[in-house]
Amino acid sequence: MRSVMRKLLLIAVDLAILSLSIVVAWFLRENFVLSSDRVDAMLVYGACTLVAGVAVIVISGMSYRVIWRLTRLDNYLRLAIQMAAIVLFAVALTFAYNRMEGVPRSIPALHFIIGTALLIGARVGARVRHVRRQLAKRKFATFAISGEEVQHSVVLVGYSALTEAYLESAAQLSKGRVKVVGVLGLRQSQVGRRAGDCEILGLPEQIVEVLEALELHGQKIDRIVVTVDAEALSDRARQALSHVGAGGNIRVQFLAEDLGFTGPRAVPPAKTLDDQARPGGDASIETRQLADLAARPYFRVKRIVEAGLAAVLLVVLSPVLVVLSLFIAMFISPSVFFWQERPGLKGVPIRLWKFCSMRPLRDAAGRRRSDEHRTTGFGRFLRASRLDELPQLLNVCRGDMAFVGPRPLLPRDQSDVLVARLLLRPGLTGWAQVVGGREISAADKAALDVWYLRNASLRLDFEIMVRTAHLVIFGERTYNELIVKAWRELLRDGVLKGQLVALAQQRVLALT
């Protein structure tokens, strides 16, 4: 009953969109002034459109099939074709009724364009709203400021109603402890679509390649959950899962087995994060005072100014971005952009975008390339000049990043203890980058970033930008005295607690 009511509701939504598109088309055609005879003609055409819409929607299932949850470009193309069928059917009915009397010839064309835009826009809007709501429910628990929870990153194998139920349960019940990174579909036609807010990344047979690609993007998987009957998987898929499970770092679960519906499978389980030693011990950092500093009005004003500046730079540098994209496509990879998931403000994961500076992980024959074979001269130039980071201007516009702030680290490099650096938006450049460069330890980077949080000002941000320009032109240099200064001030002011005090003392001794 609930499913029937949902279908009827979705059909009603599409019929309302069709009606709205007719009104908009007529108002545009008549310059927002409708005479009485035009109103009569519009009503006749509108009634014929609703009849045509009901027929096409019921026959095609346009309103309630997978397009609302599994969206791909060809779905929208199919939607446009169905809209064209509705318009043609409506024109035929109107012509049969009154020979299209009073209906301007441009109305069907306008109706098609506006109706298609509204139908697609409604679905895109629904998806965006759903994804944002799901993200709002979650926190990046591994690096939450409280440091009290561990997050499991999961890949689901198979797509079924049970997969939908798992995704919904993970979103509502796990409280951020389970993050579904992606899904492996059972058919090639599913690859590239979306299940909930997760992409269908490939087929179960490709699990090893998928895990390699995810790790390259900064996503470390610790659990694979099979949501379909194991018999539905091919022999090659089962062998690939056994190989992954035998490695010991990733736990492979069969949901049917966990629910007691089948016997145990021949895939050995891996240790979970709960079975491993929790990092940090009694080490901690005083975050209350730092959180108050991060909430200063300066950072709110800084956010507004930087977003505007980033938008201007994107427009001004657009020719440079286009030229770099063409060169990358010709000499490095047809995939011009590369992304990695990093912990952002308050630990919420963000996608950090870069220009691709290395060849693809695998060649055309599927063989894995070494880092040496993936590297090119042009790629080295992009990284050395920091031009590969220009796409992050879009991250600044979106509010994911700032121009100046703690540089977002890979999840494996982010200290579980010094999470205070996550109180600020990550930056294109930061104090740790201009003082320490890429070679200093993660602990030293975190100390410099916490020092920046406590001392941030317009003057310091300007100094960081000047130092960044110097770094790009003349290369990196490590200023040990400034690293020592950061550790000493954190010790002096009592910001560090427990084992961090000993760590700070060790770093001061090592660097002086």
Percent of the chain with pLDDT over 70: 85
Please tell me what DSSP assigns to residue 181. E
Amino acid letter at 216?
L
**Residue 111 above 50 pLDDT?**
yes
Mean pLDDT of 127-149: 53
Q: Distance of CA 141 to CAs 149, 161, 368, Å?
A: 6, 27, 32
Both structure tokens of 195: 């299940």
Residue, of 82 and 365, whose pLDDT is higher:
82
Q: Say what the pLDDT of residue 126 is.
A: 75
Residue, of 67 and 437, whose pLDDT is higher:
437
Q: Distance of CA 245 to CAs 177, 230, 261, 273, Å?
A: 21, 15, 21, 15
Q: Say what the pLDDT of residue 444 is.
A: 87
SS3 352: strand
What confidence tier does 165 reach under pLDDT thresholds 50, 70, 90?
confident
- The lowest-confidence range among 30-44, 420-434, 482-496 is 30-44
Among the listed residues 440, 429, 431, the one whose alpha carbon sits nearest the alpha carbon of residue 390: 429
- The lowest-confidence range among 210-224, 254-268, 430-444, 460-474 is 254-268
Mean pLDDT of 137-156: 57
Q: Say what the pLDDT of residue 499 is.
A: 75
Mean pLDDT of 228-248: 83
The 10 Å Cβ neighbour count of residue 494 is 10
**Residue 481 above 80 pLDDT?**
yes
Q: Say what the pLDDT of residue 287 is.
A: 66
Q: Say what the pLDDT of residue 88 is.
A: 94
What confidence tier does 138 reach under pLDDT thresholds 50, 70, 90?
very low
What confidence tier does 402 reach under pLDDT thresholds 50, 70, 90?
very high
Residue, of 103 and 77, whose pLDDT is higher:
103
Q: Say what the pLDDT of residue 256 is.
A: 78
**Residue 272 above 60 pLDDT?**
no
Q: Say what the pLDDT of residue 142 is.
A: 44
Please tell me what DSSP assigns to residue 23. H
Q: How far apart are the first and last CA of the chain?
A: 73
341-364 residue pLDDT tens: 888 888 788 889 999 999 888 777
Q: What are phi and psi of 200, to 5 degrees?
A: -85, 110
Model-level pTM? Answer: 0.57
407-448 residue pLDDT tens: 888 777 776 666 778 888 999 999 999 998 777 887 888 889
What confidence tier does 276 reach under pLDDT thresholds 50, 70, 90?
very low
Query: Which helix (H) or strand (E) covers residue 339, if one does?
Result: strand 337-343
Percent of the chain with pLDDT over 90: 24
**Residue 392 above 90 pLDDT?**
yes
Q: Say what the pLDDT of residue 291 is.
A: 79
Rounded Cα distance between 291 and 318, Å, is: 37
Average pLDDT, the chain: 81
Among the listed residues 182, 169, 103, the one whose alpha carbon sits nearest the alpha carbon of residue 137: 169
Residue, of 86 and 74, whose pLDDT is higher:
86
Torsion of CA 495, 497, 500, 504, to 10 degrees: 50
Per DSSP, the residues of 120-177 read HHHHHHHHHHHHHHHHHH---GGG-TT----PEEEEEES-SHHHHHHHHHHHHHSTTS
What confidence tier does 266 reach under pLDDT thresholds 50, 70, 90?
very low
Both structure tokens of 68: 């609302």
Mean pLDDT of 369-386: 87
**Residue 264 above 80 pLDDT?**
no
Q: Say what the pLDDT of residue 238 is.
A: 85
Please tell me what DSSP assigns to residue 494. T
What confidence tier does 68 reach under pLDDT thresholds 50, 70, 90?
low
What Rg, from alpha-carbon coordinates, does the chain have?
A: 28
Mean pLDDT of 172-188: 82
What confidence tier does 283 reach under pLDDT thresholds 50, 70, 90?
low
Domain layout of the chain by residue ranges: 2-137, 145-275, 284-511
CATH number of 145-275: 3.40.50.720
> Which residues face 362 on adjacent strands?
368
**Residue 5 above 80 pLDDT?**
no
